[in-house]
């Protein structure tokens, strides 16, 4: 389990989604975390989260909750939120920034992401970076597929990946 962020959280809160509750975390630099409470790999340790300041009224966390509400209502668009990706290595940050450029309803392969960041032979490392993404949904790692278009792992669970892709393709009945 991951137990740290690069910057200390200034606020965190839980929000409800059709796919289960999410823990949202903000630092002074932006949204730094969005993890499903259940069934997600690489979440912060519970004892660490217990020490983080809770503030459901924090402006960025409220804005994020509103963006997620609109997203799950089928109004998928670009997520225009300040992000704090500093917990990742330079390579991970490059991958996560590339993921943010994938439009809703579109999918890409790990190889395409590797080429997009100028590291065409780093497909496995891209896969590891995608899997370590700390900001579910907002940094859309669910839009990355296997080279043959097959579903691959999703740290929030494949059932959530399928539901998110269905929502973005206009099939929200899976939520």
Rounded to a whole number of angstroms, the distance between the first and last alpha carbons of the chain is 27
Query: Where in the sequence numbering do the catalytic residues fall?
Result: 141
Whole-number Å distance between alpha carbons of 25 and 44: 11
How far is the C-alpha of 69 from the C-alpha of 81, rounded, in Å? 14
Q: Are 127 and 28 in contact (CB under 8 A)?
A: no
């Amino acid at each position: 389990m991951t137990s740290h962020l690069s910057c200390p959280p200034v606020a965190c809160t839980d929000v409800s989604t059709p796919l289960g509750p999410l823990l949202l975390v903000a630092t002074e630099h932006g949204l730094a975390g969005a993890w499903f409470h259940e069934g997600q790999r690489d979440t912060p340790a519970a004892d660490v989260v217990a020490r983080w300041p809770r503030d459901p009224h924090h402006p960025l966390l409220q804005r994020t909750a509103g963006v997620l509400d609109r997203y799950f209502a089928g109004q998928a668009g670009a997520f225009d939120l300040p992000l704090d990706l500093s917990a990742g290595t330079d390579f991970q940050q490059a991958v996560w920034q590339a993921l943010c450029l994938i439009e809703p309803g579109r999918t890409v392969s790990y190889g395409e992401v590797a080429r997009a960041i100028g590291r065409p032979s780093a497909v496995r490392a891209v896969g590891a970076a995608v899997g370590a993404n700390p900001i579910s949904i907002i940094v859309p790692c669910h839009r990355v597929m296997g080279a043959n278009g097959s579903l691959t792992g999703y740290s929030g669970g494949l059932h959530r990946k399928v539901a998110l892709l269905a929502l973005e393709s206009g099939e929200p009945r899976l939520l």
